[in-house]
Amino acid sequence: MTIASFPTTKSPSSADTPKRSPKPYIAAGVHLRQASYESTPSELEAAFSGIDTLFLISYPSHVHAYRTKVQLPAVDAAKKAGVSHIFYSSLGFAGDYQFTSLAEVMQAHLDTERYLAKLAAEDPSFTYTSVREGLYSESTPIYTAFFDPRQLGNGEICIPHDGSGPGVAWVKRDELGEGTARLIAQYAQNNKVFEFVNRTVLLTGPKVWTLEETVALLAEIAGREVRIREVTVDEYVKLPQVLESFGSEEHARTWATAWDAIKAGETAVVTSDLEKILGRKLEVFDIAVRKHFA
């Protein structure tokens, strides 16, 4: 069985990826092919040729239309090239295995999940697994108006949320990565008994933290008083650090739908699947986030 991951870097455009790839991977027998989500269908098909199992890493953008526009052709190219199983890196919104979400960032993931399910229903020789990766412990800044406890600030986090529950089942990114890799390895070892064929698996942390509790922990790390001040979306999108990060009020406004989803409880679901896959207890959020901001 030949297994591949696409794309191979965080960059959506990676023309020089083969030149920059770590030598240990090459020495271990990893073969690198040049392609990106912006490649033509024929280029993608060539990149995926000879691959049985593909780990499709979602395009790095929360913009619904463009993300779907580039991801579905990549799925088509993989299937046309002969890929028989796709692992897709989805996201931990949409609650307890639901198929709708209030968050803009989740929409292209849902589109891709539906498309994979449609292809699998039409062709029994093709299967998929959607891995809904929980919200990273390391990603608190994007949910706290880019607050960094290592930097001085005015002690206020201005977001369109009051901090109350429901909250987020934060999970360490490295453990998500390891868990996903172990899932792929399980499938490769014996796909006949793999339990997540044509299914979605939700990987979360072991406990739900409200945003108020999250900010209280960040305040401890910062060593000063920090609190949430609820603002309107119109006020949020005009914050200088928000505009700097998103590049426009429009993109900031679509991102702000994430707080609607959090309020609705979409991220307040805890599953035991990641602990079962890893065979150990997960690193709790307060330890993980202290390490991250050390």
Q: State percent of the chain over pLDDT 70.
A: 93
Q: Can you list the positions of beta strands (E) in the chain?
A: 3-6, 53-57, 85-91, 127-133, 156-159, 199-203, 227-230
With 0-12 / 13-18 / 19 or more C-beta atoms within 10 angstroms meaning exposed / middle / buried, residue 154 is exposed
Q: In this predicted model, what pLDDT tens digit does every residue of 168-179 receive, in sequence order?
A: 999 999 999 999
pLDDT band at 185 (very low <50, low <70, confident <90, very high): very high
pTM of the full predicted structure? 0.91
Q: Residues 74-121: pLDDT tens digits?
A: 999 999 999 999 999 999 999 999 999 999 999 999 999 999 999 999
Residue 89 phi/psi, 5-degree rounding, is -85, 100
